Chain A
Amino acid sequence: MGYVLSSDGFGQVIDRLLETYRVYAPVVKTGAGRFTDTDVVMYDEVHSAEEIELLKKSDYSFKEFLTPLSETLFFYTEEQVKEADLPDKPVLIFLRSCDMHAVKRLDQMYLANGKESDWFYARRRELVKFVLIGCGQSFDNCFCASMGSNETKDGYVFSVDVRDGKIYSDVKDDAFASVFAENAEREEQVVPLHVTENETRVHIPEKFPLSILKDPMWDEYTTRCIGCGRCNFVCPTCTCWTMEDVSYTDNGRVGERRRVASSCMVDGFSTVAGGAQYRKTQGERMRFKVMHKIYDFRKRFGYDMCVGCGRCDDVCPEYISYSNIIKKAAAIAEAGEEEKA
């Protein structure tokens, strides 16, 4: 069922939904950008439709509700360990098609890698429903069409497109139909906007030779990459974390066990007790990250991890382009194939 709403009508829909749901959406943080007088678009809990940024690309991904940067798992005392509580009010997350495809990658890792699923992720995931933000145009550095994540046909409860100042919504979940019907200007079949091509295009070969892991192409990043890990933190498909305990200063035997977001680009990621680490240079770490996104995940699960949102390119302080790295690696793989042929 599709609906066309005025912006006021959409505001009323959101107000009604806020009675039942916590709503997380991209919002503009004025002046909070990386440079003076620049803004940043990040996810936050919103309390009205006006706060929701529907036109710009978000600099950070939606994943922070599902996988917070820091999440308390347990509270412990000397004798007991107790799981931290989580408010059980349901959650609506506004996201674009690439991110909707990223949800499946998060589910893959947390719910379906290994025999046991992640209980803490599952309890957050269970609370969430998704709202698809249509893409009327491609943004800088996006390559969703190359990764097949440019279109989403299911998994959302309703969609939101901004067209000529009106909101066009495709309502998939019948539970949401009445609130739309009450506030819409008219009913109309809606197909969410999506892009079919991007300026940035990549082609990922089906196979990479093992020699790509030792190729000198990665050396460049040992000198260029500063290992800040921003690419991991903005990535909607990066899931790594580290277990950390904190204790209270008043009583050191009482505290919390937390998991915090971790980055394969940052020192210490592969360090074992005693100090040995398995990837020392930034070039090796770049190779580890990129090959996971475009090859290793696919070898394990059958589809690529990267969804082509391009946020890592947007955020890199050294202007390293991840899509360019894919192109270089692909060229090396394909040149190797030709040599063999």
Chain B
Amino acid sequence: MTITKEIIYNYLQNVFDPEVPVLTVLDLGVVRDVSISGQNVEVIITPTYSGCPAMDVIATNIKFELISRGITHVTISTILSPAWTTDWITEAGRQKLKQYGIAPPQYKVADNQANIKNVPCPICNSQDTKVISEFGSTACKSMYRCNACLEAFDYFKCH
């Protein structure tokens, strides 16, 4: 079988973020490139948050997925630059986050908006929400509460 980039990217659609299991590694935008040399496949990923423990799991899961597909020589490389940003989360990824109950990042970091904008509630869509804490259950999340439906929700914070 000739291994192509297309084939590998297809397989990667089965590798999910262990913390947010509706997102694939492609939705997250952490796969920078795939390099193929004969039967050797190198997947180049970029870490999300500095201390995120899920990245080690993601690297392992990518390896397992490809090995289970019969690709015997897999290496995972990490590059730090350019730095991953929430801007790289795909539109499909944002929709999946919202459906899962996590408010997706509100603005493009590249647009350089420093202030926390109003985050709409992923459950009732109200704009009347307030931040409880910029730090949540994982490195990627902040905690919010909706003043309309009174539900607490996670916000995938802009990075």
Q: Do A and B come from one complex?
A: no
